Amino acid sequence: MEKVFSKTAGLTDIPFHYCPGCTHGIIHRLIGEVMEELDIIDKTIGVAPVGCAGFSLDFFSCDFVGAAHGRAQAVGTGIKRALPDRLVFTYQGDGDIAAIGTAHAIHVAARGEKITSIMVNNAVFGMTGGQMAPTTITGQVTTTSPYGRDDSLVGAPIDLPKTIASLSGAVYVAAVSVDSPKNIIQAKKALKRAFQVQQLGLGFAFVSILSSCPTNWGLSPVDSLKWLQENMLPIYEMGELKVPEEVKAL
Ligand SMILES: Cc1ncc(C[n+]2csc(CCOP(=O)(O)OP(=O)(O)O)c2C)c(N)n1
Ligand code: SF4
């Protein structure tokens, strides 16, 4: 029988151990496929901090380095400056990059470090039990906001791509989602462009991806995607916020 689909060479053979329905796995596949299509698996170095996002260390077939919570972009910056011919990407949760790692997120973009950062936004701190994150949406019930996020106490959710896009060193910024086949195709395109920006040495590239956390949201995998569509998609601006001409032309 003709083989019509193979797992990408960008992923190892280790089975994912994310919770059932968690969309971290979809994002992994897209990154693996992009690395394979661009033929960069052997020259890519990923950096993962702690959190469920940190499990990614085992699953990609490129080199990978672990970092402390929030520090992946500092580590990635060091690697890229020491080894400028490598493709360097960070794979971070929203709690990681938009809370403890905020300073790095801003300054890496301001400096225009030639790395690619990926934020997996599931609106909570996933690994530690679903606490409120800066990206938790208004009114959302979490383990630390049992009555729903109250913006009058904690401020409104941070839409990180918009902030990053305002900094001149950030040359590619996209906000995508993996809740539907159409959006998954868009997400892959954004990830590809974010790596192409780095291949061309243009500056900092950032992709924010809306993702599900069925375990901490207390929903089934299918209801989680529905919840994301009904509650997250309307409040976060989606699409490519910044695209360099050189990449549009590819
Ligand atoms: C310095 C430090 N502070 C706190 C923690 C505890 N901690 C581990 S994972 C995590 C949250 C991760 O959430 P997120 O970045 O959103 O990733 P997810 O698990 O949702 O993929 C926290 C607070 C830690 N490991 N190190
Ligand atoms: S806790 Fe949430 S983010 Fe972590 S693996 Fe489970 S579903 Fe995914």
Question: How far apart are the CA of 101 and the centre of ligand 1, in A?
Answer: 10
With respect to residue 10, please indicate whether it lies within any of the assigned structural domains: no
With respect to residue 175, please indicate whether it lies within any of the assigned structural domains: yes
Sequence letter at residue 162: K
With respect to residue 17, please indicate whether it lies within any of the assigned structural domains: no
∠110-126-155 over CA atoms, to 5°?
55
Residue 231's domain is classified under what CATH number? 3.40.50.970
With respect to residue 222, please indicate whether it lies within any of the assigned structural domains: yes
With respect to residue 111, please indicate whether it lies within any of the assigned structural domains: yes
With respect to residue 72, please indicate whether it lies within any of the assigned structural domains: yes
Residue in 106, 232, 107, 241 with CA at minimum distance from that of residue 162: 241
For the chain, the straight-line distance linking the first and the last C-alpha, in angstroms and rounded, comes to 35
Strand, helix or coil at 177? strand
Q: Hey, which of 16, 24, 119, 127 would you mutate to test ligand 1's pocket, going by the most ligand atoms within 8 Å of its Cβ? A: 127
Domain count, the chain: 1
Q: One digit per residue, pLDDT tens: the chain, 250 residues?
A: 899 988 999 999 999 999 999 999 999 999 999 999 999 999 999 999 999 999 999 999 999 999 999 999 999 999 999 999 999 999 999 999 999 999 999 999 999 999 999 999 999 999 999 999 999 999 999 999 999 999 999 999 999 999 999 999 999 999 999 999 999 999 999 999 999 999 999 999 999 999 999 999 999 999 999 999 999 999 999 999 999 999 999 8
d(CA 236, CA 135): 10
The whole-number pLDDT of residue 5 equals 87
With respect to residue 180, please indicate whether it lies within any of the assigned structural domains: yes
Question: How far apart are the CA of 217 and the centre of ligand 2, in A?
Answer: 9
With respect to residue 14, please indicate whether it lies within any of the assigned structural domains: no
Specify the residue with its C-alpha closest to ligand 1, atom 10.
51
The whole-number pLDDT of residue 1 equals 86
Task: Assess whether the C-beta atom of 119 lies below 6 angstroms from ligand 1.
Answer: no
Domain range for 203 is 24-248
